[in-house]
Chains A and B, each alone.
Chain A
Amino acid sequence: MEQKEIMIRLKGITKAFPRKKGTLEVLHGIDLDIEKGEIFGIIGLSGAGKSTLVRCINLLERPTEGQVYLDGQELTCLSEKDLRQARRSMGMIFQQFHLLMQRTAMENVCFPMEIAGVKKAEAREKAKELLELVGLGDRMESYPSQLSGGQKQRVAIARALATNPKILLCDEATSALDPNTTAGVLELLKDINKRLGITIVVITHEMKVIQEICNRVAIISEGKIAEMGSVQEIFRAPKTQIGQELVFHEGSNREAYAGRLPYCYRVVFKGGISNEPVLGRMMIDCNGVANILAGNTRNIDGEVFGQMILQFPEDEALRKKMIQYLLDQGVEVEEVAYV
């Protein structure tokens, strides 16, 4: 297999914040490699430490222990001055956009170039290109207060790209946006990743966002990486409790099945079979009925996945027969723990 180039390498990242009594350790020894050109997702519930983790990448938060490497260069040993220089190759966007309210869209995009010492005319030219790239060619002289949330985030993206960064860090970049706008912004990020080859790190608490654009994902829980892998792998078979929670959570009524009823199974259809009436055939052929508790279909990276939570009959022989039928059809079946 071809050796992938590593863009961001985190080694043993630990972060503790001083508290009145002792310290609060938010991250515990995180090791993470993010490859060049990929869109990497970091997902976790709020308070899991994901925002702190992303701030450790550009050292807005200095890790208590551990090293951060960007494209082979260790950032954690740089002087403040060199670090500021290095930050120009790391763009960042935020949940609340954080635009300069007293500057126009154009001036906002020029801002990082001003800091980098780019000539004004050159900066304006580049800013114009970027604003056109994000679809705001006609709003260049608007102030942030005159723009919608999605437009503000687009300005922020253009601004983050102004210094030709190697990576783009997105901290809950779509969490303040409505679903339609979110889709648009995610589409833009995907497009930027493809067109400019920029490595993107996406922090989110929404599995939907991960599915939409990420290649790989790390699930972080209580300051540790619970599991990590390709989005398809994680979605199909989340190994950890937190992984299952995040994957099942959306679009399905967790309360309906989460260990409350006996004989519940999670079935995952993928590719072609999700278009066939497998379930209906199973019920006819096996002469037994399954109760559908929850279900949804998703498109991950071009592949269609359908997942359902089914409650099978109490009769063990019949149940086994039905499950075997599904397995024979290439459907994945996994028992949901009954408590």
Chain B
Amino acid sequence: MFNSEMISLVGVAFWESIYMTIISSFFAYVIGLPLGLILVATDKDGIAPAPLFNQVLGIIINILRSIPFLILLVAMMPITQAVVGTVIGAKATIVVLVVAAAPFIARLVESSLKEVDRGVVEAAQSMGASPFEIMTKVLLPEAKPSLLIGSAIAMTTILGYSAMAGFCGGGGLGAVAINYGYYRSQRDIMLVMVVLLVVIVQVLQEVGLRIAKGTDKRL
């Protein structure tokens, strides 16, 4: 079953998965990180309280998070088409992955930032720090280890979603697993794909934890 053609196919799929995960994570963080910061800042006990805004934003995020990924994949097709000009392949999957992961990341970031001691924020306020300075100079740096652990979780989740996109013509390991393993009943190929996914998840998680530990000055 593993002729050279197959091996190169798997190789391409492997890198496609990695590529989708990294690019999607990047853009999801571009959206999710500020959203998380805004959630924390506008909380009623936050540094720039805006309870009503906070609640509306929270509800929007919850709605986006509760849409099943496969439904989102289908529902977003017109938007995906408009943005990247296609609804299949890795590129198209990235668009949906970003939309699906950003609200999840916003919540992850929010919970990491909330771990920062309220007193440290108060101390910064007592020195005349503005809400923006508190975000960039206190909340983000102080929460860095926790944010890094969160990013490992986010990336593994995105990798999982990307594999799911294989059902709808998305690329990567998931597509190979479904096209060969499921539709053509080549169980051994499916097994190999699953093992590869497990390996990537393990590596991401371990690397994330190590970096987080390495940068944490509290230890």
By a beta-carbon cutoff of 8 Å, the part of chain A in contact with chain B is: 58, 60, 83-88, 90-92, 94, 96, 98-103, 111-112, 114-116, 143-145, 156, 159, 163, 169
Contacts and interface: CB of A to CB of B under 8 A. Distances in A.
B127 A87 contact: yes
11 contacts: A92-B126, A94-B119, A100-B120, A100-B142, A101-B142, A102-B141, A116-B128, A143-B217, A144-B217, A145-B218, A156-B123
Given A84-B128, A102-B141, A114-B137, 13 more contacts: A86-B128, A94-B119, A94-B123, A98-B120, A99-B123, A100-B138, A101-B218, A102-B215, A102-B218, A103-B217, A111-B124, A115-B127, A163-B128
Given A94-B119, A98-B123, A145-B218, A103 B141 contact: yes
A85 B144 contact: no
B106 to A, nearest CB: 22
B123 A92 contact: yes
Interface residues of B, number: 24
B119 A98 contact: yes
Contact of B128 (A87, A98, A143): A87
A146 B124 CA distance: 21
Main secondary structure of the interface of B (DSSP, over half): helix
A98 B117 contact: yes
Contacts of A90: 126
Contact of A100 (B125, B128, B141, B145): B141
Interface in B184-219: 215-219
Interface string B140-153: 01101100000000
Contacts of A156: 123
Interface in B115-135: 117, 119-120, 122-130, 133
Nearest to B120: A98
Given A96-B119, A99-B120, A112 B141 contact: no
Contact of A87 (B117, B126, B141): B126
Nearest to A113: B127
B142 A111 contact: no
B47 to A, nearest CB: 11
Contacts of A103: 141, 217
Contacts of B141: 100, 102-103
A115 B133 contact: yes
Nearest to B217: A143
A143 B215 CA distance: 12
Kindly name the residue among B120, B138, B144, B216 whose own CB sees the greatest number of chain A CB atoms within 10 A.
B120
A112 B128 contact: yes
A111 B124 CA distance: 9
B126 to A, nearest CB: 4
Kindly name the residue among A86, A94, A98, A116 whose own CB sees the greatest number of chain B CB atoms within 10 A.
A98
Contact of B127 (A88, A96, A99, A144): A88
Nearest to B122: A60
B147 to A, nearest CB: 11
A286 to B, nearest CB: 57
Nearest to A80: B130
Contacts of B137: 111, 114-115
Nearest to B133: A115
B144 to A, nearest CB: 6
A60 B125 contact: yes
A85 B216 CA distance: 32
Contacts of A87: 125-128
A158 to B, nearest CB: 13
Contacts of A86: 128
A314 B142 CA distance: 67
Contact of B144 (A83, A102, A169): A102
Kindly name the residue among A87, A99, A101, A156 whose own CB sees the greatest number of chain B CB atoms within 10 A.
A101
B217 A145 contact: yes
Nearest to B145: A102
A87 B125 CA distance: 8
B148 to A, nearest CB: 12
A6 B64 CA distance: 57
A167 B127 CA distance: 12
A115 B129 contact: yes
Contacts of B145: 102
A81 B28 CA distance: 33
A156 B130 CA distance: 20
A163 B217 contact: no
A111 B120 CA distance: 12
A278 to B, nearest CB: 49
A85 B119 contact: no
Contacts of B215: 102
Contacts of A101: 120, 142, 217-218
Interface pairs A-B: 6 shortest CB-CB: A87-B128, A98-B123, A84-B128, A112-B127, A92-B126, A98-B119
